[in-house]
Amino acid sequence: MDLVRLDGRVALVTGASRGIGWAVAEQLAAAGASVALNGIGDPAVLSDRAASLQRAYGVDAMPVVADVGDPTAVTAMHRAVAKRFGRLDILVSNAGILGDALIGMIPDAVVRETLRVNTEGALYNLQAAARLMRRSGGGAIVTVSSIVGRRGNPGQVVYAASKAALIGMTLSAAKELGPHGIRVNAVAPGVIETDMTGHLDAATRQSLLSGVPLGRAGGAGEVASAILFLVSDLASYVSGQVLGVDGAMVL
């Protein structure tokens, strides 16, 4: 018998077409959850992803194309999920962008877009999910922050600000939504092998890994496993926590 089962539960994963988001969607489906996969790119990619989950795990899965930084689109997305599944039990707010630039060279457009997608997007989804979860008696929300939001990094001031904001959002939401049976936690991944780190040159990569006591980069599946724990009944008394998935990079 599997240790973690989510049969009968409905999950929405933002930024689910690749990387950590896709790994999360796959692990939730493998545990028996119905999954709504959100993305903003090619709709065919999301449709293929959803179909692959249905074939592999026998669960219901639906693609939802929506810009998480657009509150109207987010409201429509959650309504679509509610219409299809009748409830929402799990939200994983994973969608995000980098927006790297040195302090004196950050274009206004980069500031606005990074905060719009990373911070406002998570907030809009938190609000919409909380409304649905209250109706069904509770749920679990996980926001995907970053090690950069906890310790900073040169050239990533805006990205760090957007991810640090998620931590404050998580802590406040956990206190406010706890009485409604809604648990809210965050994960803070470190150096993870995804498309977002694939652009790093060898020297930068080695410099980052030199600060990881485990001596290697993590995998998207390892972050997904941490999230699977947080949304499962194994973490039924865990809320308001920021779980580092970083190989002991931050202690």
DSSP the chain: --S---TT-EEEESS-SSHHHHHHHHHHHHTT-EEEEEESS-HHHHHHHHHHHHHHH---EEEEE--TT-HHHHHHHHHHHHHHHS---EEEE-------B-GGG--HHHHHHHIIIIIIHHHHHHHHHHHHHHHHT-EEEEEE--THHHH--TTBHHHHHHHHHHHHHHHHHHHHHGGGTEEEEEEEE-SEESTTTTT--HHHHHHHHTT-TT-S-EEHHHHHHHHHHHHSGGGTT--S-EEEESTTS--
Evaluate whether 140 touches 89 at the Cβ level (below 8 Å): yes
What b/e readout covers 118-129, taking b as 16+ CB neighbours within 10 angstroms?
A: bbbbbbbbbebb
Give the residue numbers annotated as catalytic, written as ranges.
159
Alpha-carbon gap, residue 83 to 62, rounded angstroms: 12
